[in-house]
Structure 1
Amino acid sequence: MGMEKIMVESSTKIAFILLVTFAITIPCLEAAHVLSPAEIDDFVKARAEEAHKVAVETYVPIPEGVAHDLNVAVHMSMEAEENNTRREMRQKGKKHDGPCEATNPIDSCWRCKADWAANRFQLAKCSKGFGRKTTGGLGGPIYVVTDESDNDMVNPKPGTLRFGAVQKGPLWITFARSMVIRLNQELMVSSDKTIDGRGANVQIRDGAGITMQFVNNVIIHGLHIQNIKAKPGGLIRDSFDHTGQRTRSDGDAISIYGSSNIWIDHLSLSECEDGLVDIIQGSTGITISNCHMTKHNDVMLFGASDSYTGDKLMQITVAFNHFGQGLIQRMPRCRYGFVHVLNNDYTHWIMYAIGGSSSPTILSQGNRFIAPDNGAAKEVTHRDYAPPDVWKNWQWSSELDVFMNGAKFVPSGAPINRKPFKKAYMMQPRDGSHVSRLTRNAGALNCVVGKPC
């Protein structure tokens, strides 16, 4: 029996090594959509230049300050929720059993209020982290999607999601009812938009995904996105004033390309042909929060190429998400930039959780990492295309993370505590033991008009 066990364990490790070799060393698996000459005209060039200016303005020279502010907000939110619970217990004289709990600072900003549907714009005041300045369609009219069809890429029909996504100026997009939308080509979202799925079960599935290219200030909230496929491209309207030639899309659920001030919140994402969230080409000022991700290989890619140094501008917050069943790798996989990974619940991975190349700075705080049973996949971290004498200088830090079932984080580089936020003055994160509360409502919520969400 002992020899049989050893043979089984050895064969398992060999199979795992082959899987790793296949999934992380083939360059094409890391590819992300890059514009072809056919997709670049004078309009797109001008918009790219403007987008880059916005990215430079959005970039924060001392990103530790943003991390500090978010940790302060987490403490305040949890303390307020704990005080409210104790107060209700004293008043009722029994165990708290309220129907709504909002334990992280994003949710506590708008959830658990019965009038949320009459005050949808409140959501625009709730983003935290690097996407904190995102207001989406705040100040614009509310547009209601009444038609789930997607048949005209150039002159989309009024009432459809595509029609609303390309309108000029701020717009807050909602849905008249639950619906399944099959996008025939990627949905190009223009600047100053909110796509708000609250109050309906809105599924984007079995077709193309959502793309933000050279835009600014977009909120995507409350959608189910799954089974997204690559599409051949063609003439597609990308804004009110422009229709352009698009080549084949990659099959990402969410693709962010050269864009700034983007907030992705409360999405349920799974089983797409390429990535669940890809952020590339100098995008910055982005928060991914309260999402539930399942059944996928390449979960999140931040930076598409080791040769594109423009991604040094990239600053991304990944907070309060649940990385669930059937995930393999890239939660996220980073190049360059500064990535703050805070209070997420990593209950499943097959290969690794957090990876990268090209010297990204990764600050991991207060997460829970539950390693798989496979002894060859206990390490949370994975570094590509560099020997240890190079990656030892990359700043990868773990603070107050909780490691279970043998999980281990391999840190590297100098401490992440530049002035004026030296360690003694930085708010410590809530440790990983609180993650199950902070992520309890990750994914698209079942909000009912007239009731707390």
Structure 2
Amino acid sequence: MVELAIIKPNNIFFFFFFFFLFTYAVKAHIATNFEGALTRRLLLQQKEEVGAGGPCQATNPIDSCWRCQANWEMNRKSYAKCALGFGRKTRGGENGRIYVVTDPSDSDMVNPKNGTLRYGVIQNEPLWIIFAHDMTIRLNQELIMTSNKTIDGRGANVHIANGAGITIQFVHDIIITNLHIHDIKATKGGDIRDSVDHHGQRTSSDGDGINIFGSTNIWIDHMSMSNCKDGLIDAVMGSTAITISNNYFSSHDHVMLLGANDTYADDEKMQVTVAFNHFGPGLVQRMPRVRWGFAHVVNNDYTHWEMYAIGGSTHPTILSQGNRFVASDSSAFKQVTHRDYATEDVWKNWDWRSEGDLMENGAFFVQSGSPLKKESFSSEDMISPKPATSVPELTRFAGALNCTVGKPC
């Protein structure tokens, strides 16, 4: 026989007392969690609105200028005002109309088809060039352009590959952003149109990814570049006012050349900012290699080199600030710096300075010359370095971005 439990008056009081406490605690817990979740959501929304975080995750001052805007695609040209460093005045095609590349072909070097990239870059007017969809463009000959052009790959997956590279020659105000450039070949040259009004014979090209020749106000940003026949980026023959930022470089020997000739003294005016780039696996040397001019190398991440990271000849000025240098395990390649064709009694007077750099795995920077006088350079042209410990975060999104229309990039 089953006995029924008898609940006495005192037991009934304690039962309801503890039930009330339990119910109150559960309600308080749910309310607290809901309030916390709501608070976190509001904070996240506030961050997205002011560009301090959220899905775009902008981590450096160039990216913070535009990446957190959900309407970036409707306001593409505002990007032109985001450049910093020596190329900060570059405006590209900001004052022109938008031209859409719809055709990835490159079959006619003299009379390119409307809708192709080559047709757009030779127009005499300023143009902001975008891409209708993902595409791979194999250039049959080097792509030569006129001034005031922006090539903007944001919102599409665009590859310049398996053919010739891009030549920026005797022009000004060029922006190139968010492309993949790789497997570039040397080409034989021929009759090529370089503007609506002119075409002529070109000699063979070297196979550079991007060659900047006698040009000013250039900004190269958020590019993914690898495996070109010659250099990934070269700036030569009096080119200046250049910013190279937020790029991802990999799998290449001669990465970046600033000044191509020891006898060309006009390169003494060259000023180049190299900022927020990730120099990744498979790189050997020239990150950059500098002749004559001034390179401000700031907040870059060097996670690999097989010979040296920063080099030069002919008394260039190099200011390295807030970079992270991670040497390879090979004991032969710990030194960051390399000076070509000069003995110490010559290069000891070159101004190569390291300030706030982080040296890891035995990396070391051989300085020379005197500390640079800050008044020698405009503060507007110099990117203020962040601590080198923050470099992995600053360069976290280096390379071509996967931007989606209608969302922060």
Pairwise same-fold verdict (TM > 0.5)? yes
Q: Distance in 1 between matches of 2:160 and 2:250?
A: 15
Q: Distance in 1 between matches of 2:138 and 2:297?
A: 32
Q: Distance in 1 between matches of 2:329 and 2:144?
A: 41
Q: Distance in 2 between matches of 1:430 and 1:177?
A: 36
Q: Distance in 1 between matches of 2:70 and 2:80?
A: 17
Report which of the two structures shows the higher radius of gyration computed on alpha carbons. Answer: 2
> Counterpart of 1:368 in structure 2: which amino acid?
R
RMSD between aligned residues:
2.0
Residue correspondence of structure 1 range 283-432 to structure 2 within 5 A: 283-419=239-375, 429-432=385-388
Partner of 2:93: 137
The 8 Å contact of residues 184 and 229 in structure 2, kept in 1 or not, is answered as yes
Percent identical among aligned pairs is 65
**Secondary structure of the residue that 1:169 maps to in structure 2?**
coil
Partner of 2:182: 226
Give the C-alpha shift of residue 190 in structure 1: 1.0
Residue correspondence of structure 1 range 152-191 to structure 2 within 5 A: 152-191=108-147
**Secondary structure of the residue that 2:338 maps to in structure 1?**
strand
The 8 Å contact of residues 127 and 133 in structure 1, kept in 2 or not, is answered as yes
Query: 1:310-329: CA deviations, max 9, x gaps?
Result: 10010000000000010000
Give the C-alpha shift of residue 92 in structure 1: 6.6
Give the C-alpha shift of residue 431 in structure 1: 1.9
Which of 223, 228, 235 is residue 267 of structure 1 equivalent to? Answer: 223
Partner of 1:247: 203
The 8 Å contact of residues 83 and 219 in structure 2, kept in 1 or not, is answered as yes
Pairs aligned (count): 364
Q: 1:127 to 1:371 in 2, by over 3 A?
A: same
> Counterpart of 1:241 in structure 2: which amino acid?
D
Q: Distance in 2 between matches of 1:427 and 1:281?
A: 25
Structure 1 regions of 5+ residues with no counterpart?
A: 1-86
Query: 1:330-380: CA deviations, max 9, x gaps?
Result: 000000111000000000110000000000000000000000001010000
Q: 1:410 to 1:195 in 2, by over 3 A?
A: same
Q: 1:167 to 1:422 in 2, by over 3 A?
A: closer
Partner of 1:212: 168
Query: 1:37-78: CA deviations, max 9, x gaps?
Result: xxxxxxxxxxxxxxxxxxxxxxxxxxxxxxxxxxxxxxxxxx
Q: Going by fraction, where is helix more abundant, 1 or 2?
A: 1
Q: 1:91 to 1:153 in 2, by over 3 A?
A: closer
Give the TM-score, by structure 2 length.
0.86
Q: 1:173 to 1:422 in 2, by over 3 A?
A: closer
The 8 Å contact of residues 258 and 290 in structure 2, kept in 1 or not, is answered as yes
Q: Distance in 2 between matches of 1:92 and 1:336?
A: 48
Partner of 2:23: none
Query: 1:9-37: CA deviations, max 9, x gaps?
Result: xxxxxxxxxxxxxxxxxxxxxxxxxxxxx
Q: 1:186 to 1:394 in 2, by over 3 A?
A: same
The 8 Å contact of residues 111 and 452 in structure 1, kept in 2 or not, is answered as yes
> Counterpart of 2:336 in structure 1: which amino acid?
V
Which of 391, 394, 407 is residue 435 of structure 1 equivalent to? Answer: 391
> Counterpart of 2:216 in structure 1: which amino acid?
S
**Secondary structure of the residue that 1:99 maps to in structure 2?**
helix
The 8 Å contact of residues 400 and 430 in structure 1, kept in 2 or not, is answered as no
**Secondary structure of the residue that 1:125 maps to in structure 2?**
helix
Q: 1:235 to 1:370 in 2, by over 3 A?
A: same
Q: 1:89 to 1:388 in 2, by over 3 A?
A: farther
Give the TM-score, by structure 1 length.
0.78
Give the C-alpha shift of residue 419 in structure 1: 3.3
The 8 Å contact of residues 342 and 365 in structure 1, kept in 2 or not, is answered as yes
Give the C-alpha shift of residue 414 in structure 1: 1.1
